[in-house]
Structure 1
Amino acid sequence: MGVETSIEEILKDLVEKFNKKVDEDKDLYERIKDLNRRIKLKIQPEGIFYGELKDGKITELKKVSEDVEADISVETSRDVFLQLISQQLSPFIAYVNGLVRIKAPLKDLLLLKNLFGSF
């Protein structure tokens, strides 16, 4: 992923990879098939992106013009986001150093790991 790639394109790719992983990993599907979660990513200065997890799939993360309520909320900068998805930065290190803020029930952190990890 080059620096010139838009956040929208990156998010679309992440969602496609997550949904493909769910299709291929029946154990993962069984764990999340009944979850309904609203997901919000606030990436500075890009904006707020919103999607939903339904029936084991994440809908497209679309840019929204105003803040929305969500079950899972992640806030970070564009630079940190790009480092996280390229695995140049550990999510744990980013979290403990305050580079990323996460608001989610503990049980939903697995979902984030599967969305951002191992791609």
Structure 2
Amino acid sequence: MIFKHNYKLVGLVIASAAIASAIVFKFIYIPSLPFIKKLLVDFFIVGLAVIAFSKETIEDERILAIRTKSLSAAFLFSIIFCLCISALNFILGDFELSGHELTIVALIIYLLFFAYLKRLDGNESID
């Protein structure tokens, strides 16, 4: 992984600040709002990526296996998600998926699967 364990907090702060700013800008009119929205989405992606690519406190083979399974699941889910969006576009028309949206979905799925598999693995080792 690229970042030290402490960077998870940095990523959480970046992602949370992007979400909070997006909520605030939802109620404020600013002429350059489309640019700010894109910038906030970019910051949200960076925050999620920093969280995803930060080490755990104990980084061992078990965590590496969990990361690999999570990455595989996120990739497979992203492909299925793209196919579903394509089907919706074919049926409903004018329904598009941007690269930013796909990246956010993939990172969130990765983080959710990683947390789930880590918790599942932790419960098995206790028994």
Q: Fold conserved (TM > 0.5)? A: no
The structure whose residues are more often strand, as a share, is: 1
Question: Is the radius of gyration larger for structure 1 or structure 2?
Answer: 2
Q: Which has the higher contact order (CA 8 A, sep 6+)?
A: 2
The structure whose residues are more often helix, as a share, is: 2
Q: Please, what TM-score do these two structures have when normalized by structure 1?
A: 0.30
